[in-house]
Amino acid sequence: ATPTALMVGTGRAAQLGILIKGPEVLESTRRVDTVLLDKTGTVTTGVMTVLDVVPVAGQDVGEVLGLAGTVEAGSEHPIGRAVAEAAGRRGDLPAVDGFAATGGLGVQGVVGNRAVAVGRPSWLRDEWSVALPESLQVAAAAAGDAGRTAVAVAWDGEVRGLVVVGDEVKASSAEAVRQLVALGLQPMLLTGDGTGAAHSVARQVGIPEDAVIAEVLPQDKVAVVRRLQEQGRVVAMVGDGVNDAAALAQADLGLAMGTGTDVAIEASDLTLVRGDLRVAVDAIRLSRRTLAVIK
C-alpha cells in the first residue's frame, strides 16, 4: 500500500470519529474474520444501577444494601460504584477495614465486627464456602435471564442477600452486529459476567448462543483471543475496560471505546471516539476500501 493512500484513509477515519495509532493499522484490519465484543461498556452502556435487593428471609433490605455498599465504596468497578451509590443515598456509610478487591470476582472488607464479602455467587461458594439458598438461586437465575447481574452479599459465614444490578444495551449495538454479519464477519460476545446475562444480551443484539463466551476472568480474556488465533482466525477485539487491555493488545486489531479506560485505549490500534459500535464496522469498511483503491 502506498503511504499517500493510507494517509487519505487515516484522514477519512478521523472524520468518522476513529483515531488510528498509525496508518499501517489499516492493513491488518482487512484480514479480520472474527470480531470479539466485550459486553459491559461496549455492547451495553456500562452505566450500572441497582435494580433490586433480595434479602434472605428474616434479613433487612437496608442492612444488605448498606453493608454491601459500604464495602463497595472502595471499589472502582462499575458494579461496585452502583452499589455504593445506592447505599449512600440511604445514609452515610461507615468505615471499612481491610478492603480488598479480587478482579472479576468481588470485594471484601470488615465493617464493625462483620467480615463482609460481595461478589459473584460462585466466588462466594468456592472461596468463602457460602452457598446461595434456593430462594436466592431462583432470583439470581431470573436476574440473569433479564440480562441483569446478581451479586451475592455475605457476612458471618452466610449469604444474606442479592443485589441485582444492570445497564442497558446501547441503541446502536444490534445494528452494528447486523452490519458485521453483512460484511461476512463473525461477531462473538466475551464477558466476565454470568452466562445468563451474557446470553440475554447476545439475544438482544443478534449474536448466536454458540458465539457467547461468559464467566471469563480478566486475566483469561487474552487466552481466548490466543486460542481463536491458533484456530487460524484473524481477530478484532472491541473493549473498554482495564480487564480488556491484554486481550486488545493480543488481538490482530484492537479497538477501544473512547468512553472507556485509558489503559484500554493505550492497548488498542484504533479508538472509537464516541463509543458507538457501528463505527467499528465503519473502520473495517474504510480499511477495505482504502486498500482496494491502492491495489
167 catalytic residue (yes or no)? no
By CB under 5 A, what part of segment 224-243 binds Mg ion?
Answer: 240-241
> Residue 6 or residue 139: which is nearer to ligand ADP going by CB?
139
Taking CB within 5 to 8 Å according to partner kind, which of ligand ADP, Mg ion, none is near residue 240? Answer: Mg ion
CB of 168 to Mg ion, least distance (A): 14
254 is an interface residue for Mg ion by CB under 5 A: no
As a whole number of angstroms, the distance between CA 146 and CA 191 comes to: 16
Q: Which stretch binds Mg ion (CB under 5 A): 41-49, 70-78, 129-137, 262-270?
A: 41-49
CB of 40 to Mg ion, least distance (A): 4
192 is an interface residue for Mg ion by CB under 5 A: no
Taking CB within 5 to 8 Å according to partner kind, which of Mg ion, ligand ADP, none is near residue 119? Answer: ligand ADP
Binding mask 70-99 for ligand ADP (x = CB under 6 A): --x--x-x-xx-------------------
By CB under 6 A, what part of segment 242-271 binds ligand ADP?
Answer: 243
Of the residues 33, 38, 126, 252, only one is catalytic, namely 38
Query: Looking at the annotation, which residues are catalytic?
Result: 38
Q: What is the contact surface with ligand ADP in residues (CB under 6 A)?
A: 39-40, 72, 75, 77, 79-80, 101, 104-107, 118-120, 149, 151, 191-193, 218, 241, 243
